[in-house]
């Protein structure tokens, strides 16, 4: 699919949604300052030229690859002797963030327009949200009740999803999505040789390289992660169909659901168990793993009174 040069309207729409009170990035440029610059047509044309040249050359400047990582302690913790009690916030250069927002909008439109995104994906995409997931689940459960079946669900979480994405595989997925070669060439450069600088209270640490995953502070992270999952979900679906396991899938970024319906909970458990094993092994091929401690099984039954099924599923 052809990748056209960027338009003025794309940049003006993207920057109009930005909060003027956002924290300063490495370039010390607030959104309110950049909005004034963008309102000057000559300046806007120069910014558009930068964005178009990046794709023509397959290059993302090192200036935009640098970030600050601010370490903030999570509130109300008994102690702070473990890494999980802190929350990192990524701060990027503002001009680079604007260009990334425009690219993300264009990329979302392109891959959704050519039906590349897997239909079960409800997160990280425009016009899809937790509300859509709730409506879909409610419909599935109620349709099962109408047939006298119990709906069984297994929830899973992919551990360290964003930092674990494989750059090379992501580039191949972009090619598979039908994008121009220069687009995948751009992202091959965009994803590598990044540097960040830890900031903790008044301490600033030396720069270090970040050569894995996609930056969570970037507007491109949601769509890139969605694309990475798309190929995985198509392959997973194919494996389950070959095994003739009647399982439906819902995905919300790094959280997912297996759904099956049957009058027998034991049969449903068997379907969930087999699907979970296929999922675990396939994720390893994508350099990902499940966070088993977060895996749970839920049953939705219309029986009145106490419903306490025997759990014969061992994960």
pLDDT in tens, 105-145: 999 999 988 889 998 888 778 777 778 888 888 999 999 99
Environment class of 93 (CB within 10 Å of its CB; exposed 0-12, middle 13-18, buried 19+): buried
**pTM for the structure as a whole:** 0.86
CA–CA separation, 164 and 228 (whole Å): 11
pLDDT in tens, 44-70: 999 999 999 999 999 999 999 988 888
Q: Quick check: 187 and 170 in contact, CB under 8 A?
A: yes
CA–CA distances in Å: residue 199 to residues 21, 36, 72, 267: 20, 29, 9, 52
Residue 68: beta bridge partners? 91, 197
pLDDT tens-place string over residues 207-231: 878 776 776 678 898 899 889 999 9
Tokens of 143: 């349709």
Give 123's Cβ-side CA count (13 Å radius): 15
pLDDT of 79 reads 81
Whether pLDDT at 315 is above 90? no
Q: Mean pLDDT throughout 191-197? A: 86
Please, is 261 exposed, middle or buried when counting C-beta atoms within 10 Å of its C-beta (0-12, 13-18, 19+)?
buried
3-state class of 129 per DSSP?
coil
Nearest to 227 by CA among 275, 169, 180: 169
Contact (Cβ atoms closer than 8 angstroms) between residue 149 and residue 300: no
Alpha helices in the chain (DSSP H): 8-16, 31-38, 41-57, 62-65, 94-113, 130-146, 167-176, 181-190, 221-242, 265-285
């Amino acid at each position: 699919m052809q990748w056209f040069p960027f338009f003025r309207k794309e940049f003006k729409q993207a920057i109009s949604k930005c909060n003027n009170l956002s924290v300063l990035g490495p370039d010390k440029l607030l959104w309110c300052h950049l909005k004034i610059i963008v309102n000057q047509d000559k300046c806007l044309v120069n910014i558009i030229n930068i964005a178009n040249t990046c794709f023509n050359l397959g290059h993302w400047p090192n200036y935009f690859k640098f970030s600050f990582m601010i370490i903030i302690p999570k509130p109300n913790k008994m102690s702070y002797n473990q890494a999980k009690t802190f929350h990192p916030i990524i701060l990027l250069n503002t001009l680079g963030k604007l260009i990334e927002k425009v690219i993300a909008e264009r990329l979302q439109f392109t891959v959704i327009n050519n039906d590349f995104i897997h239909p079960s994906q409800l997160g990280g995409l425009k016009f899809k949200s937790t509300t859509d997931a709730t409506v879909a689940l409610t419909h599935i459960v109620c349709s099962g009740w109408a047939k006298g079946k119990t709906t069984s669900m297994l929830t899973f979480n992919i551990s360290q999803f964003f930092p674990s994405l494989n750059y090379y595989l992501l580039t191949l997925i972009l090619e598979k999505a039908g994008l121009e070669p220069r687009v995948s060439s751009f992202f091959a450069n965009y994803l590598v040789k990044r540097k960040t600088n830890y900031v903790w209270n008044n301490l600033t640490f030396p720069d270090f390289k970040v050569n894995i995953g996609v930056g969570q502070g970037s507007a491109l992270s949601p769509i890139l992660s969605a694309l990475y999952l798309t190929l995985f979900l198509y392959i997973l679906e194919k494996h389950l169909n070959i095994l003739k396991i009647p399982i439906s899938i819902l995905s919300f970024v790094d959280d997912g659901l297996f759904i099956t319906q049957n009058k027998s909970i034991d049969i449903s458990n068997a379907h969930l168990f087999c699907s979970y094993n296929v999922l675990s092994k396939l994720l390893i091929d994508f350099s990902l793993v499940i966070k088993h401690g977060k895996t749970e099984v839920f049953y939705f039954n219309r029986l009145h009174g106490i419903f306490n099924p025997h759990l014969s599923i061992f994960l």
